[in-house]
A and B are shown apart, each in its own frame.
Chain A
């Protein structure tokens, strides 16, 4: 079997009488589906560059056979522009022709709006979810105090009470009060004089 090559492609070109291979048949079936979808207005969002080029060719061929009709508004606009041009009026307007880039951006716009709004909604819900946890986290934080500023047993301060001094509670309360007053003042100083 002779094999020929095109000028800009190294792919082998089969002879006209050669039977199509299974891969070629599969590719043809897939491309047929793409063309059908395109005719129904459901253009696949992604396809290979070769398929896209072939699809454009197929669309042009179909249009030249008169199978495609312009929308009434577009057709009227073109006719009016042509007439206006014929009588030397204002130049034709091509406002109905949508640039390719703008068309692409229009295709992505709904998704962009939907994505952005979803992200904002998710962030707002996250704020609602996390907000009640903030005070709990604060309360979980424990401030360590120096021992002299803490309320605590007076055993270390008083020591064992001898039997002879079992009734000297007055002297002991004086000692306890003086010690705790020192701690209370130190605590107030640490808080900048606030009670």
Chain B
């Protein structure tokens, strides 16, 4: 009787093993058939997320083209069209997390601000620079350049106040020049810090 029970248990276990094995092997076969159905059945390693890929090159290529387009417009003296071309760089789609995206956009903002300064749109230029500084994820030479352009905007405002010839605005002009110096100092400070870091890395 005992042997019959043990034999029954054994056969039950064997049946369970066959069922489980079937599920496992069936799953493996299913995976194989899915791979077989793929158009390129090759084994490939996962591409690192920080690799230079086609999307990054496309975005950089588009930024390059917009810059050249703006340059041609500037040569022709068409600052409005040049500004519009540079603005399009800000809306380019870069791969998520690509550090080049920040650099290219900040450089475009610096050029855009200078174009706006040339057109007398100082407030718009200041807003463009402030947005770039606020959105930057890290300190860089491009952020330092934005602070430089910010200093130029303050200088331009001071010059405009001086030109007005109104003695009541002299204090405001002095304040703008003071802010210009502070912006240049921030730019210098960022540049020095980055250069030190780069020298240590080498």
Chain A residues with a Cβ under 8 A of chain B = 106-107, 109-118, 120-121, 124-125, 127-128, 131, 138-139, 142-145, 149-156, 158-161, 163, 166-167, 169-170, 172-174, 176-177, 180-181, 183-184, 187, 194-195
For the complex, give the distance between the alpha carbons of A177 and B60 in Å.
6
Is the Cβ of B98 less than 8 Å from the Cβ of A143?
no
Give the 4 A-B CB pairs with smallest separation, nearest first: A114-B10, A117-B14, A117-B13, A113-B10
A177 and B99 contact, Cβ closer than 8 Å, known pairs A113-B7, A127-B24: no
Query: Shortest CB–CB separation between residue A86 and chain B, in angstroms?
Result: 37
Beyond contacts A111-B6, A128-B24: 13 other A-B pairs, Cβ-Cβ < 8 A, are A124-B20, A125-B20, A128-B20, A131-B27, A145-B50, A153-B102, A154-B103, A156-B201, A158-B141, A160-B195, A161-B148, A173-B64, A187-B52
Judged by a CB distance under 8 angstroms, whether B131 is at the interface is no
Judged by a CB distance under 8 angstroms, whether B46 is at the interface is yes
Residues of B within 8 A of A138 (CB): 46
Is the Cβ of A117 less than 8 Å from the Cβ of B110?
no
Residues of B within 8 A of A128 (CB): 20, 23-24
Is the Cβ of B52 less than 8 Å from the Cβ of A155?
no
B14, B16, B152: the one contacting A166 at CB < 8 Å is: B152
Is the Cβ of B46 less than 8 Å from the Cβ of A143?
yes
- Whose C-beta in chain B lies nearest to the C-beta of A159? B141
Residues of B within 8 A of A150 (CB): 48, 50-52
Interface of A (DSSP majority class) = helix
Point out which of B11, B12, B20, B70 has the most chain A C-beta atoms below 10 A from its C-beta.
B20
Q: Which residues of B in the span 1-50 have a Cβ within 8 Å of any Cβ on A? A: 3, 6-7, 9-18, 20-21, 23-24, 27, 44-48, 50
Residues of A within 8 A of B138 (CB): 153
B14, B57, B60, B111: the one contacting A167 at CB < 8 Å is: B111
Is the Cβ of A166 less than 8 Å from the Cβ of B46?
no
Residues of A within 8 A of B45 (CB): 143
- Whose C-beta in chain A lies nearest to the C-beta of B190? A160
Is the Cβ of A149 less than 8 Å from the Cβ of B24?
no
Is the Cβ of A163 less than 8 Å from the Cβ of B148?
yes
Query: Shortest CB–CB separation between residue A121 and chain B, in angstroms?
Result: 4
Residues of A within 8 A of B86 (CB): 169
Query: Shortest CB–CB separation between residue A141 and chain B, in angstroms?
Result: 8
Query: Shortest CB–CB separation between residue A15 and chain B, in angstroms?
Result: 44
Is the Cβ of A118 less than 8 Å from the Cβ of B27?
no
For the complex, give the distance between the alpha carbons of A161 and B142 in Å.
7
Is the Cβ of A120 less than 8 Å from the Cβ of B95?
no
Residues of B within 8 A of A154 (CB): 99-100, 103, 140, 142
Judged by a CB distance under 8 angstroms, whether B54 is at the interface is yes
